[in-house]
């Protein structure tokens, strides 16, 4: 065991790498140093704080980056399996078998163009494909796009999609479906929306034009470096669908079952129990190698089933008795039970960000005179540490992090958080509520009891809201019901959710994050004075790193000044699988059923 002096709290199995930074054996750049070390380990890397000494406990054999910026130390472990390792191992992989996955949430809709719910994301990642998707390091790789050209003035980007790709119903993929899907998502996909509004023509038909069956163009009025991100992965990303789905309004959930171009096709659904998929015989893979969620994928299993089990102890029992092969989510107080099981593998996810959402469409949060102060009252009164412990269980699984961008990275920024984050200013907040005339006003707080992070935080939020003068209607439900209700503006005032790593890495993370953007996500943030839109305009145009950093700091300050949403902090979680499932890892695509097989 080696010791490193520093003050950074633990990162469990995080695979943190900026898309614009290439890690080499040793780098010294300004005040940041990156050193790649080889350590003898077994499964994961863990960092614990004791006083001002950071102790690294090694549990996997991997290369580890140690990034130092000033006196901040971040330990970064590579995923359990790298793309190269998976590709090499897959050459001898056998096909067959039934992969049974216990889903992290119930499925009410198969339409990822309508909701960002994780249960629906399981569908989109198995059956549907986008133009681009995330690589294992969170950079962006090709999927349905084969190539693209940029005009000499950088105002016209022409994309060519892959020829010979079929939908699961036999329909050929053309730019008709691509443009139709982009049109449906044009008001919801945040980076796409930003690029059109700031750098493109007003009309969608002028912004996206069809050249032929395999080529379409994105046309700009002003140059920007965000074009690939505009048509790439983000909240409400364009997963390409057929006409019966893309002609619907984005605010309506598409009926029926999904038809995509992915390696697995939809087989059957028993509502409230499970849905299944089987290999698509005519699947046409990308010419790029598999890397995270991007590139060429292989369907090794004969069948994949996503099973709904709400009780977490029952989930673990199913895994340990062989009734299931993977559990996407479980209460972390069950972790010791799995750690003692030699037949189970535990995979660490990068840290998640737990948040709480205000409904800007109805009072009290949208009150033109008092809404901002009332949102700030909840934020300043909040007990972030208590909520994180309720969500994740123990001190070693949480990190008090006031930064919109991931703590421990070069982008960490705490502007605006002083006296606002974990401040527990109950009396100050109570006075704000009383003076506003909203004392006794009822807040409908949605509580998805089957998802522990949101459920645990909701109990603390109820206490704080009541302590500062609100009445609370705690609406206990399952996750699937909550994801439906949040889409209806008059059914809620507040709910909790959490985000992954892709929304938290640098400026592009902000731009991909729908809840931060003007009238884009379910919270419908109203950006009354236009500050957010002005700062996003800078982030979309600027290339000077110093000016980007200034805009990031200003955005962080504005986030707390306007109390856009409640940032609770970071928590760490493991997921579990049988040891006979090969190819799993903690990076992008690590849980997806493609490119995995039975030993």
Report the alpha-carbon distance of residue 341 to residue 134 in Å, rounded: 32
CA 69, 75, 79, 85 torsion-angle sign: positive
Beta-strand relationship, 264-270 and 274-279: antiparallel
Inform me whether the pLDDT recorded for 203 exceeds 90.
yes
Instruction: Give me the residues paired with residue 290 across strands.
Output: none
More confident residue, 350 or 477: 477
pLDDT band at 26 (very low <50, low <70, confident <90, very high): very low
CA dist 573 → 14, 74, 525 (Å): 11, 18, 29
Residue ranges and CATH numbers for the domains of the chain are 2-78 (no CATH), 95-104+263-348+573-598 (3.40.190.10), 118-246 (3.90.76.10), 352-571 (3.10.105.10)
CA 493, 499, 505, 509 torsion-angle sign: negative
pLDDT tens for each residue of 222-276: 998 889 989 999 888 889 999 999 999 988 888 889 999 999 999 999 988 999 9
Residue 452, SS3 per DSSP: helix
pLDDT band at 503 (very low <50, low <70, confident <90, very high): low
pLDDT band at 282 (very low <50, low <70, confident <90, very high): very high
pLDDT value at position 266? 95
pLDDT tens for each residue of 439-454: 999 999 999 998 889 9
The alpha carbons of the chain give a radius of gyration, in whole angstroms, of 23
pLDDT value at position 516? 79
Report the alpha-carbon distance of residue 589 to residue 258 in Å, rounded: 20
CA 190, 525, 358, 386 torsion-angle sign: positive
Q: 402, 415 in Cβ contact below 8 A?
A: no
Burial track 406-444 (b if 16+ CB lie within 10 A, e otherwise): bbbbbbbbbbbbeebbbbbbbeebbebbeebebeebebb
pLDDT value at position 573? 86
Of 47-56, 169-178, 392-401, 453-462, least confident by mean pLDDT is 47-56
Q: 423, 380 in Cβ contact below 8 A?
A: yes
pTM for this prediction: 0.74
Mean of pLDDT values over 501-522: 74
Residue 389, SS3 per DSSP: helix
Q: What are the tokens at 380?
A: 């300043």
Inform me whether the pLDDT recorded for 115 exceeds 70.
yes
Of these ranges, 12-26, 44-58, 576-590, the one predicted with the greatest mean pLDDT is 576-590
């Amino acid at each position: 065991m080696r010791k490193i002096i520093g003050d950074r709290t633990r990162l469990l199995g995080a695979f943190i790498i900026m898309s614009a930074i290439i890690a080499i054996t040793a780098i010294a750049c300004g005040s940041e140093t990156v050193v790649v070390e080889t350590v003898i380990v077994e499964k994961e890397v863990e960092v614990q704080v004791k006083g001002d000494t950071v102790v690294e406990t090694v549990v996997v054999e991997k290369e580890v980056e140690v990034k130092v910026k000033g006196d901040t130390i971040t330990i970064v472990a590579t995923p359990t399996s790298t793309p190269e390792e998976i590709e090499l191992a897959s050459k001898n992989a056998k096909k067959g078998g039934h992969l049974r996955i216990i889903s992290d949430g119930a499925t009410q809709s198969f339409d990822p163009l309508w909701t960002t719910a994780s249960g629906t994301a399981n569908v989109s990642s198995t059956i549907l494909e986008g133009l681009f998707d995330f690589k294992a390091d969170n950079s962006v790789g090709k999927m349905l796009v084969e190539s693209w050209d940029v005009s000499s003035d950088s105002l016209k980007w022409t994309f060519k999609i892959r020829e010979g790709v079929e939908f699961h119903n036999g329909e050929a993929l053309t730019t008709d479906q691509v443009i139709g899907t982009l049109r449906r998502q044009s008001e919801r996909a945040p980076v796409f929306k930003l690029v059109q509004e700031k750098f493109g023509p007003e009309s969608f038909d002028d912004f996206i034009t069809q050249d032929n069956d395999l080529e379409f163009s994105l046309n700009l009025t002003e140059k920007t470096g965000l074009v690939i991100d505009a048509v790439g992965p983000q909240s409400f990303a364009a997963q390409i669908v057929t006409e019966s789905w893309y002609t619907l309004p984005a605010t309506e959930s598409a009926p029926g079952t999904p038809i995509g171009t992915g390696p697995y096709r939809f087989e059957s659904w028993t509502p409230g129990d499970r849905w299944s998929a089987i290999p698509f015989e005519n699947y046409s893979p990308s010419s790029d190698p598999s890397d995270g969620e991007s590139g060429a994928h292989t369907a090794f299993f004969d069948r994949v089933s996503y099973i709904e089990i709400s009780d977490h102890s029952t989930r673990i029992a199913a895994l340990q008795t062989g009734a299931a092969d993977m559990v996407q989510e479980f209460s972390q107080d069950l972790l010791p039970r799995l750690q003692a099981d030699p037949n189970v593998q535990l995979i660490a996810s990068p840290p998640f960000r737990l948040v709480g959402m205000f409904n800007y469409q109805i009072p009290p949060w949208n009150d033109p005179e008092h809404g901002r102060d009332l949102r700030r009252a909840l934020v300043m009164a909040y007990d972030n540490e208590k909520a994180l412990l309720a969500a994740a269980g123990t001190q070693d699984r949480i990190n008090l992090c006031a930064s919109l961008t991931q703590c421990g990275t070069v982008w960490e920024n705490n502007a605006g958080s002083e006296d606002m984050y974990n401040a527990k200013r109950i009396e100050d907040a109570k006075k704000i509520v009383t003076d506003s005339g909203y004392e006794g006003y009822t807040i409908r707080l949605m509580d998805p009891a089957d998802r522990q992070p949101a459920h645990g935080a909701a109990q603390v939020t109820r206490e704080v809201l009541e302590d500062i003068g609100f009445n609370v209607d705690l609406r206990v439900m399952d996750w699937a019901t909550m994801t439906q209700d949040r889409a209806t503006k008059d059914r809620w005032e507040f709910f909790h959710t959490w985000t992954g790593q892709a929304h938290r890495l640098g400026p592009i993370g902000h731009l991909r994050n729908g809840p931060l953007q003007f009238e884009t996500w379910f919270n419908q943030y109203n950006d009354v004075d236009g500050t957010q839109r002005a700062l996003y305009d800078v982030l979309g145009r600027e290339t000077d790193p110093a000016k980007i950093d200034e805009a990031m700091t200003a955005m962080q300050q504005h986030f707390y000044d306007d109390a856009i949403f409640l940032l609770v902090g970071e928590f760490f979680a493991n997921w579990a699988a049988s040891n006979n499932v090969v190819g799993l890892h903690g990076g992008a695509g690590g849980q997806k059923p493609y490119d995995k097989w039975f030993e």
